[in-house]
Amino acid sequence: MSEFSMTIDGGGAATETAFPVTNPATGEVMAEAPESTRGQVDEAMSAAARAFESWQYDRPLRQKALKDLASAVEANLEELAEVITMEEGKPLGESRSELGDVVNDLRYFATLEVPAEIVRDDERTAVRVLRRPAGPVAAITPWNFPLGTAVAKIAPALAAGCTVVLKPSPYTPLSCLRFGELSRSVLPAGVLSVLSGSNEVGSWMTEHPVPRMVSFTGSVATGKRIAASSAPDLKRVILELGGNDPAIILDDAVVDDIADALFANAFANCGQVCVAIKRVYVPDALHDELVEALVSRAKAAKVGDGRLEASEIGPLCNQMQFDRVSELVGDAASRGARVAAGGHAIDGPGYFFEPTILTDVDDGLRIVDEEQFGPVLPVIRYDGIEEVLKRANATHFGLGASIWTSDAERGSALAPRVDSGTVWVNTHQSAVPGQPFGGVKWSGIGVEGGPWGLLSFTEVQAIHVAK
Ligand code: NAD
């Protein structure tokens, strides 16, 4: 792979040190990424503060720039897809689809307006409420959708009039670095800087006096640290954190109708999706049929290097995640779980793990209670609706959930009783343009997507005029 450079104040930034980025399908180093210094964080923040002065007032420029960024991504889509697949592992088709979301986000927020609201307008008094951009934003993102999670912040933040300093995960910095390079000919200097480096670079950003907001996507543990480090300066935080989404199968569901969608929504991106199905609750009467359907799909799935078009499931993204998944499966097996499919790492280079279905599991087991973030799905029996709702909600997580039934109205009526930011009925992970997305409890603070996502990057200003 060619060189990748950081973008600071509209140009490339040289660094003395670099760190290796590994292709998870081969276990080999595919490229090096620059390691940002603390001084470069300062430079990027100063540039963001300078650019904010005029960017916040120039909506036509913002609209044009977001549309031009979308076109730049489209024009480079195949190269970016290959970079995402090589740094993260997902099959090329999934990388293209991530980039499709990136293009859609940029175009959606380019035209989304936030109208002023009138509270009163009579002979004596006029009160209107504006939404002003929050200020420079520190954006910090994870590795599972390297460019998708970044642009889910950049697009609404820039549209709202904020400027952004982005730091992607050190496992997958390359697609964001390339996006930064593409942005140089589209955005005014300082509007978007892209740094790369270790977790420490992220903490320099959240502690820095310039950003007025930290927008973070990643794990619950890091989200708590970021909330704590943003507190002394009262920075606003948006936290999009982990999940442990339950899929609740109702007794009227038809297994043949739902098995493909259940499997796909548990194993897409090798299970490394914040809103993947991470535990399935099924009534006794449907248990065996559902397990058989999932097992046959797990055994048939083609696992391989994401660059091969035949591959349906790629490797886990990194050694840390590979070790974690191996540990959770080992723990479950040692505590009486039945491995109905898979259960082992795949021999050879790369972080490949067999698609795994576990049965004879229950709440209290780590694989059920924790976020596995990998190609492993526990199937759990339940007896009645009240019981399963209680068990689905008995967790610190609250990102997504789904209800599967042949009666969509019945599912829809139960949905508000699940404690999560999104509840799907007969689907999971689906979103239409304009739909908000966020978590409750430990799964996050604030939302992305739709008008709510844009408003997240603003502050309310009331203007009260005595006539
Ligand atoms: P992570 O929390 O380990 O790292 C995320 C980012 O935070 C990285 O860029 C990392 O360098 C940085 N970071 C780490 N420590 C920091 C600190 N002290 N200060 C500032 N920055 C710091 O998460 P991960 O392992 O990369 O991502 C996986 C997690 O992300 C999963 O839990 C997944 O569910 C979650 N996720 C959530 C969403 C969502 O929208 N809710 C989307 C994707 C992923």
- pLDDT (tens digit, 9 = 90+) per residue, 361-407? 999 999 999 999 999 999 999 999 999 999 999 999 999 999 999 99
Strand partners, 303: 313
Joined together, the tokens standing for residue 452 give: 């709510």
> Is 446 near ligand 1, meaning CB less than 6 Å away?
no
Q: What is the mean pLDDT of residues 199-205?
A: 98
DSSP state letter for 145: S
CA of residue 114 to ligand 1 center, whole Å: 30
The pLDDT value given to residue 252:
98
Which CATH number does 6-241+441-466 carry? Answer: 3.40.605.10
CA of residue 297 to ligand 1 center, whole Å: 30
What is the per-residue pLDDT across 115-138, written as a single tens digit (0 to 9) for each?
889 999 999 999 999 999 999 999
DSSP state letter for 212: S
CA of residue 169 to ligand 1 center, whole Å: 7
Q: Which atom of ligand 1 is nearest to the CA of 218?
A: 30
Q: Which residues contact 39 (CB under 8 A, 6 or more apart)?
A: none
Instruction: Indicate the burial class of 459 (C-beta count within 10 angstroms; 0-12, 13-18, 19 or more).
Output: middle
d(CA 29, CA 15): 19
Q: Which residues are catalytic?
A: 240, 274
* CATH 3.40.309.10 assigned to 245-425: yes
By the 8 A CB rule, do 248 and 404 touch?
A: yes
Full-model pTM: 0.98
Domain boundaries, the chain: 6-241+441-466, 245-425
> Is 241 near ligand 1, meaning CB less than 6 Å away?
yes
> Is 368 near ligand 1, meaning CB less than 6 Å away?
no
Write the residue with the smallest CA distance to atom 21 of ligand 1. Answer: 202
CA 448 to chain centre: 10
> Is 153 near ligand 1, meaning CB less than 6 Å away?
no
Residue 38 has pLDDT above 90, yes or no: yes
> Is 202 near ligand 1, meaning CB less than 6 Å away?
yes
Q: Which of 137, 172, 214, 219 to mutate to test the pocket of ligand 1 (most atoms within 8 A of CB)?
A: 219
